[in-house]
Amino acid sequence: MATQNELFASTIFLKAALPLTKVILEYRPKMAAKYKGLNGVVQFVAKDDAGDIGGYLQFTDGVLDVKYGIHEKPDIVFTFKDVKTMNAFFAGKPAVPSIKGLTKLKLLLKAVNLLLALKIIGRKTPPKKPEDKELMVRLMLYLLPLGISQLNKAGHPEISKFCQKSPDRTFAWSVTGTDIASYLRMKAGNSKAGRGKYTRSKPFVEFKFDSIDGALGILLQTTDMIEASINRILVIEGSPEYGKEIGSFMNMVGQLAS
């Protein structure tokens, strides 16, 4: 049976990372064009004594939807012997699933291509092309609030405790000079991750990165945080204590996803 930590990691992969494939297609129109007219369901499932865990990509006339759970009639199924192996697969580590539906080659290749594109969030070094850098930062800044929110909903003890005590507050991330922004709203145990600026209130804490490169340096932990603060590569507006707390949750998501 999967450990609690393996289940939290699977939550990150299936409920926070996998949905980012939609963002990839949204910001890679050339790639999206290749999915035009595509139909089919690609299921990822891990066996577990407490019940199988999975998520799936659903293409309907080329439009992608990502769902958590087990589809009734998937076209292709990636089956993992346990949750740990599935997590390793999504983290880009060696892990071999059994694959059913290999005859639907086009669908399989498209799904694999999408997963390969998603690997950008697991990079340890920044990409070279500016558009790849931008996509990587976008995906990571979407992943972090979503990951924290999903861990809250999955009952992660530290995050849930924090969220339970939270009055109506938003925490935000943004990159200056771009439209890249995300937020996490919390209120008495409820949480909601969103994309773009939250405008109904002022964020309680906002992580403002000065540029795409600045954000990458911090997110990949190649820039020293103190230097980043001194040089205003990262400005944390709001309560320093809460900034630290959210920062530790960001690390938690990063660690679970690696």
Partner 1 sequence: MAADGLTYTIVDTANMSTAEIYGKVLCDLAEKHNDIVGLSADLAKSTKIGQFAAKFPNRFFNAGIAEQNMFGMAAGLAKSGLTPFVSTFAVFASLRAAEQVRTDICYPNLNVKIIATHAGTSFGQAGTTHHCTEDLAVMRSFANMVVIAPADGIETANAVIAAYEHKGPVYIRINRGFDPFLYEKTDYGFQIGKAVQLRDGTDITIIACGAAAYNAYHAAGILEKEDGLSVRVLNMHTIKPIDEDAIIKAVMETRRIVTFEDHNIYGGLGSAVAEVIVKSGKACAFESVGIPDEFAIIGLPEDLQNYYGFDQNKIIEKVRQIMGKDFEQTEDWEDEV
- Taking the least distance from each CB to partner 1, the nearer of 127 and 194 is 194
Does residue 168 bind partner 1 (CB under 8 A)?
A: yes
What is the nearest approach in angstroms of partner 1 to the Cβ of residue 174? Answer: 13
CA 134 to chain centre: 15
Does residue 202 bind partner 1 (CB under 8 A)?
A: yes
Does residue 213 bind partner 1 (CB under 8 A)?
A: no
Does residue 66 bind partner 1 (CB under 8 A)?
A: yes
What is the nearest approach in angstroms of partner 1 to the Cβ of residue 81? Answer: 27
What is the nearest approach in angstroms of partner 1 to the Cβ of residue 227? Answer: 10
What is the nearest approach in angstroms of partner 1 to the Cβ of residue 19? Answer: 4
- Taking the least distance from each CB to partner 1, the nearer of 238 and 247 is 238
- Taking the least distance from each CB to partner 1, the nearer of 108 and 135 is 135
Sole binder of partner 1 in the list 98, 103, 106, 226 (CB under 8 A): 226
CB 257 within 8 A of CB 13: yes
Does residue 94 bind partner 1 (CB under 8 A)?
A: no
How many residues bind to partner 1 according to rule CB under 8 A?
36
Sole binder of partner 1 in the list 22, 28, 71, 81 (CB under 8 A): 22
The region of 116-124, 144-152, 154-162, 215-223 touching partner 1 under the rule CB under 8 A is: 144-152
Per-residue three-class SS string for the chain: CCCHHHHHHHHHHHHHHCCHHHHHHHHCHHHHHCCCCCCEEEEEEECCCCCCEEEEEEEECCEEEEEECCCCCCCEEEEECCHHHHHHHHCCCCCCCEEECCCCHHHHHHHHHHHHHHHHHHCCCCCCCHHHHHHHHHHHHHHHHHHHHHHHHCCCHHHHHHHHHCCCEEEEEEECCCCCEEEEEEECCEEEEEECCCCCCCCCEEEEECCHHHHHHHHCCCCCHHHHHHCCCEEEEECHHHHHHHHHHHHHHHHHCC
Q: Which residues lie near partner 1 (CB under 8 A)?
A: 15-16, 19, 22, 66, 146, 149-150, 153, 167-169, 190-195, 199-202, 204, 226, 229-230, 232, 235-243
